[in-house]
Structure 1
Amino acid sequence: MTEVITSESVATVSLKDDPDTLAHDLGTSFVEYGFAIVRDHGIPQDLIDRAYKKAEEFFALPEEVKRKYHVEGGGGARGYTPFGIETAKGHKHHDLKEFYHVGRDLPEGHRFRDHMADNIWPEEIESFEATFKELYAEFDKAGERLLRAVARFLNIEEEFLVDAIEDGNSVMRMLFYPPQTEPTGQHIRAGAHGDINAITLLLGAEEAGLQLLTKEGKWLDVKPKEGELAINIGDMLDRLTNGYLPSTQHRVINPTPDRASNARYSMPFFLHFRSDFEIKALPGCVPEGEEPKQPPITADEFLQQRLREIKLA
């Protein structure tokens, strides 16, 4: 069995730090772990609290009501995905979760309308739409600030990564892991996986269970404080940096017996590059005399490939 360790080595950074300090500390933690913890991220706590309340109200609805918002054949891109569908790449057992997706709103005639469906809003929950539109916008702003710091760390123009995410196919997910009233036959709530996107901003990881796999093959608990964000590199940014910033395998394990009756809620924001952005290894990340590890691919082509692998498309 892979050893599990607890460490404070994953850096906690503040978005109020001076730009050079933020870039250094964030980038260094990303290089080593693919993860960092961020405080002072600017997302208002009262908005976070309201969003959790709305998520709890939705997941408490009867199953037949929630399924009204499930889009058959939609790849889980918008609306509700029931329990028992998403399966981590390479795993046989489905994850022990259900979720709801909110994406970017695009105007009629936008060039990416074919890649991004309209959002679906449950009519049963008052102000659900307004709350999650507001939260989506705040995640977007925090993500841009983080990518500016990443660009500074990589010694490239900050606007390069900002431009890469403009009108990107970013998705906000409300996750619900139901209480466990009897043994599940699984040690894992969400199987080990790497995220598809550029970076992920996660609220809710203060509830124990999130772990990352270190380069030494040990599982490391990721334990932000309440209100802090856990940030991780996704496969797209890994590919863009030729593996320099690694998309680390991570998982959510089952709670300890004394916490098994507690539901787990979390809200990851999967920040994506725009659909036509070519993910091509940055020259500064390819050692002299070597070829990039992966060929170029557009963000949308890569996304569709991965959605098929995790059984959402």
Structure 2
Amino acid sequence: MSVIPTLDIRPFVDELGKAYRDYGFCCIRGHGIAQAQISDAYKVFEAFFALPEETKRQYHLKGLGGARGYTPFKVETAKGAKYADLKEFWHIGRELEPGAKFANVMAPNVWPNEVPDFHEKAYALFRALDDLGARILRALALYIGLPETFFDDKIDSGNSILRPIHYPAITDATTPSLRAAPHKDINLITLLVGASAEGLEVRTKQGEWIPVITEEDAIVVNIGDMLQRLTNHVYPSTTHRVANPKNTNAQKPRYSVPFFLHPNPDVLLDPLPCCVSEANPSRYNTSLTANEFLLQRLREINLL
């Protein structure tokens, strides 16, 4: 008689959870997102950034803190940094139904008319990474003793962002700016596709900067400040940067596409009871919703 096998998910959960407790970063393969889909998205993003400056600036929306559309070169400044980052980017958010609960805090998307496939390719990648992020959070929930589906109803209307980034060729070798100054991410987790180009570096607990090198189709996934706060630093948000190349690659543009997975705007980011103990007492004595936390950080990085 045939017997359906019983498989143990704990080894994977333990391996993933330990990686995040130790580093706040890891690379994930076998994620199910086809390389062709990623490549198609990169093509439309590169096509947009190749447009004339005056065309791109038509999509720079004032008063939204860069939440949707285009943010020009050297606007975003990392928290605590003296100089603006050497990058321009576009923000794509969740598409909501008319009258949706969070429509008052999540603006509608805008799409560049000059790149016909931009909407289709970009939002398909948004949805794929949103689904993958939910799967990763299920494993992270299990590792700290929560039900596997704990995060499901806390991210189903999350204010998540897909951010295609263009780092232009560096024409001034003496610039004090970096492509992205040392920073931590705001959100729950970040998923970065196509991270093969050099530059991304993570600061270890010992203060050493180490390069993030991906293999084949691997996606880089790291913890953000919201999940660090929610787990009372059980999952640490790790400082990282995009360094300027010290070789001829500095004269080449660099493209990057992170997906910032956010919780629903009304989720409270108070430390979870399972992450508070005598050995790890609560580090926060005030309550903040995800939206309040986001607005606070957008002001700190010069987007609001």
Class of the TM-score when normalised by the shorter of the 2 chains: over 0.9
Q: TM-score, with normalisation over the residues of structure 2?
A: 0.95
Spell out, residue by residue over 1:158-197, the C-alpha distance to the aligned partner (whole angstroms, 9 max, x if none): 2111221110000000000001233142362101111000
Match of 2:232 among 223, 236, 242: 242
The alignment partner of 2:136 has SS state of: helix
Q: Are the counterparts in 2 of residues 239 and 279 from structure 1 also a CA contact under 8 Å? A: yes
Within 1, Cα distance between the matches of 2:166 and 2:177?
A: 17
The alignment partner of 2:251 has SS state of: coil
In the alignment, is residue 106 of structure 1 matched against residue 88 of structure 2?
A: no
1:272 counterpart residue number: 262
Structure 2: 5+ residue stretches without partners: 1-6
Within 1, Cα distance between the matches of 2:237 and 2:297?
A: 14
Match of 2:161 among 171, 176, 179: 171
Structure 1: 5+ residue stretches without partners: 1-16
1:14 counterpart residue number: none
Match of 2:51 among 61, 67, 87: 61
Within 2, Cα distance between the matches of 1:187 and 1:100?
A: 20
TM superposition shift of 1:101: 0.5
1:9 counterpart residue number: none
Percentage of pairs with the same residue: 49
CA RMSD of aligned residues (A): 1.4
Q: Are the counterparts in 2 of residues 70 and 80 from structure 1 also a CA contact under 8 Å? A: yes
In the alignment, is residue 312 of structure 1 matched against residue 297 of structure 2?
A: no
Q: Are the counterparts in 2 of residues 139 and 201 from structure 1 also a CA contact under 8 Å? A: yes
TM superposition shift of 1:204: 2.6
Higher strand share: 1
1:23 counterpart residue number: 13
Within 2, Cα distance between the matches of 1:98 and 1:184?
A: 20
Match of 2:203 among 186, 208, 213: 213
Shift in CA distance, 290/214, structure 1 to aligned 2, threshold 3 Å: closer
Within 1, Cα distance between the matches of 2:277 and 2:206?
A: 23
In the alignment, is residue 161 of structure 1 matched against residue 151 of structure 2?
A: yes
1:78 counterpart residue number: 68
Match of 2:170 among 175, 180, 184: 180
Within 2, Cα distance between the matches of 1:176 and 1:161?
A: 32
Count of residue pairs the alignment pairs up: 297
Spell out, residue by residue over 1:194-239, the C-alpha distance to the aligned partner (whole angstroms, 9 max, x if none): 1000000011321111111111111111111243111100000000
